[in-house]
Structure 1
């Protein structure tokens, strides 16, 4: 069961090749408290892709353990209201997440197909693909239309991990530009900061 839980990691990982191929030049948007956030235009989209990178003083194994606690993980994923596992099959897991949004924007929900790839060097990559029609839409929520991104955990010693969180999202419906511009910086920064705080306790 562990592999299915570790995958409900928030809206962060996806088709690594797709996200890398379509994101254009990365430009630093925030570099604070050991967390660097960069943004990029994304081909065919009005919404920017974001990338957050930090080093956490914890092993890949500890970070995986934190991720396996689906309900607990929601506390450190930016604006996560609730999340659960829908299905698990081999290296793939399907998760459902509800997100908070500021009034008057309708809250969003998301269904992710997450694929976990483990490398011989001990690194872990989680690819994420949005499946908006996997289950019927929930009343009171707008379904996220597309997510392309990934999490990558790379061991940098016995008790240190470099964490990269890169995502492009099509939020569905109408989203004010001020909120979209704020989200692409706040989402990676706040998620990585909260994950680090829990991992380093």
Structure 2
């Protein structure tokens, strides 16, 4: 069966945006302090609820804001990475994700994905192609899963509007008390004209719902007991 024929045809009746698995940490400190990078406006707290904080900031040259969401979980690094790498589970937790498919794997840490994102009528559904790169710091144990759009790496599908610009990341940072800080940050240009009211709502709803779903799903046995050879828990790093 072809990749596209396997996608469910129904739409998800909710707010749309890019639902991206994983990906891009560009020099963020392990403390994960929310600050400007000198090029963009300061982060603004947009929502703080149920242990999840969502921030947004303006991006120079873009009409759409960048979002950043943070939470702290009692979980394992391998559990979080196992969930992020399970493309079949993506529609269960990534906001408005219809389907995610792995289309190329250069190594356990370097992959190319194809994703379809549902949008409410009359906005066209989007698709995206992006490469992810996982890096783990040998000292702190912090994991960064970087993401960058690679729009031309997969044939255009006429049914969808291709997202051509996107970068973001997941970051999992072990804490001294055994908890893990989760950071999810993305900026994208979905193209095609997005109503301002929708764009403003989506940059808050997307990361909030995605993190909330992640927190629930990562507790399932398949992820809680996951063992990944390319990921090291802090105890393993301390023993070396």
| TM norm. shorter chain > 0.5 | yes
Can you list the C-alpha shifts for 1:35-64, whole angstroms capped at 9, x where unaligned? 000000001100000000001121111111
Q: Residues 175 and 84 from structure 1, CA distance in 2 versus in 1: closer, same or farther, beyond 3 angstroms? A: same
Secondary structure of the residue aligned to 2:186 is: strand
Of 16, 19, 23 in structure 2, the residue corresponding to residue 13 of structure 1 is 23
Bigger Cα displacement from structure 2, 11-20 vs 48-57:
11-20
Q: Do residues 110 (structure 1) and 110 (structure 2) align?
A: no
Moved over 6 A (4+): none
Task: Specify the alignment match of 2:234 in structure 1.
Answer: none
Of 74, 87, 99 in structure 2, the residue corresponding to residue 70 of structure 1 is 87
Q: RMSD of aligned C-alpha atoms? A: 2.1
Kindly tell me the number of residue pairs found equivalent between the two proteins.
Answer: 193
The answer as to whether partners of 1:34 and 1:55 remain within 8 angstroms in 2 is yes
Give matches, 1:1-150, under 5 Å.
10-14=20-24, 16=26, 22-90=39-107, 91-120=109-138, 121-150=140-169
**1:180, distance to aligned residue in structure 2 (A):** 0.9
Q: Residues 158 and 93 from structure 1, CA distance in 2 versus in 1: closer, same or farther, beyond 3 angstroms? A: farther
**1:122, distance to aligned residue in structure 2 (A):** 1.6
Q: Distance in 2 between the 1:191 and 1:99 partners?
A: 13
Task: Specify the alignment match of 2:199 in structure 1.
Answer: 180
Any stretches of 5+ residues in structure 1 without a counterpart?
Answer: 1-8
The answer as to whether partners of 1:16 and 1:148 remain within 8 angstroms in 2 is no
Q: Residues 26 and 94 from structure 1, CA distance in 2 versus in 1: closer, same or farther, beyond 3 angstroms? A: same
Task: Specify the alignment match of 2:12 in structure 1.
Answer: none
**1:75, distance to aligned residue in structure 2 (A):** 1.1
Task: Specify the alignment match of 1:3 in structure 2.
Answer: none
**1:158, distance to aligned residue in structure 2 (A):** 7.2
The answer as to whether partners of 1:56 and 1:200 remain within 8 angstroms in 2 is no
**Over alpha carbons, which structure has the higher Rg?**
2
Task: Specify the alignment match of 2:233 in structure 1.
Answer: none
Any stretches of 5+ residues in structure 2 without a counterpart?
Answer: 1-18, 29-35, 221-240
**Bigger strand fraction:** 1
